Chains A and B, each alone.
Chain A
Amino acid sequence: MDFEISKDPIRIEDVIDKVVAREAGAITTFIGTVRELTNGKKTLFLIYEAYEAMAVKKLEQIGKEIRERWPNTHVAITHRVGKLDITDVAVVIAVSTPHRNDSYEANRYAIERIKEIVPIWKKEHWEEGEKWIGNQLETVSYPSGKPREEDMNG
């Protein structure tokens, strides 16, 4: 299982081990962690929720896209769900390639695609409340529990 959604803490080494290959000259690892401050606001903890069956398929699709674009590449991705505290690991992406440049580029591609097509959502919990985050830039969010008028027309 190279593409997983995990309810348990992610073991980084396990994800890396999946992409070890004799033809590889580089392995890059991206570790996404829970940040305490976003635009000056203090996060207490996050809840990640996934549409798991589809999320695994979309992670597999990202792996396929990468292997088509960067030959002889191995990809493994695990994304955590459930309650995560500050500094906890939310996602680990490991990519191995014959040469290092491809490894950096392919890994960056993977995280950007996750933010576009993988059905996973985070709910921020602050001291003064909670909110499902509409996207990573926090430009789309639904404090009322519903999209705002301007988002609906956007």
Chain B
Amino acid sequence: MVNVLFFAHLKDVVGKEEVSVEGNEWNVARLKEKIAADYGLEGLESVMTAVNEEFADDETILSEGDTIAFIPPVSGG
């Protein structure tokens, strides 16, 4: 299992901050497809991803216990 975190509008659409899902040995792109289908999220392929608090690309392979965060365009400052 891997932990998936949602922020900003993604959190509003999903209605949760965090979910635990199958994803061990998947790549990020496959997880995005699964999450998009499960929660009706559109445009997830263009949202950045962080794995264990570092930006990661779609080819990154996930391991048991990883924390994946979907990072919409940031607007701090």
- A positions within 8 Å CB-CB of B: 32, 48-51, 53-55, 57, 79, 90-91, 111, 114-123, 132-136, 140, 142, 145-147, 151-152, 154
Size range of the interface on B?
A: 20 to 34
Is the Cβ of A51 less than 8 Å from the Cβ of B9?
no
Instruction: Tell me if B71 is interfacial: C-beta within 8 Å of chain A.
Output: yes
Q: Kindly identify which residue among B47, B53, B69, B72 contacts A132, using a CB–CB cutoff of 8 Å.
A: B72
- Residues of chain B with a CB closer than 8 A to A147's CB: 42-43, 46-47
CB within 8 Å for A146 and B76 given contacts A51-B71, A152-B42: no
Tell me, in angstroms, the Cα distance from A22 to B38 when the chains sit together: 57
B42: nearest chain-A partner, CB-CB: A146
Tell me, in angstroms, the Cα distance from A134 to B50 when the chains sit together: 17
- B positions within 8 Å CB-CB of A: 5, 7-9, 12-13, 41-43, 45-47, 50, 53-55, 69, 71-77
Is the Cβ of A51 less than 8 Å from the Cβ of B76?
no
Question: Which 10 A-B residue pairings sit nearest by Cβ, starting from the closest?
Answer: A120-B76, A147-B43, A152-B43, A121-B8, A54-B53, A133-B75, A132-B9, A134-B73, A132-B8, A114-B77
Is the Cβ of B76 less than 8 Å from the Cβ of A114?
yes
- Residues of chain A with a CB closer than 8 A to B75's CB: 115, 120-122, 132-136
In whole Å, how far is B42's beta carbon from the nearest beta carbon of chain A?
A: 5
- Residues of chain B with a CB closer than 8 A to A54's CB: 50, 53-54, 69
Is the Cβ of B8 less than 8 Å from the Cβ of A111?
no
A-B contact pairs, 21 of them (CB 8 A): A51-B69, A53-B53, A55-B76, A90-B76, A111-B77, A115-B74, A115-B77, A117-B55, A117-B74, A119-B7, A120-B75, A121-B72, A121-B74, A121-B75, A122-B75, A132-B75, A134-B73, A145-B12, A146-B42, A146-B43, A152-B46
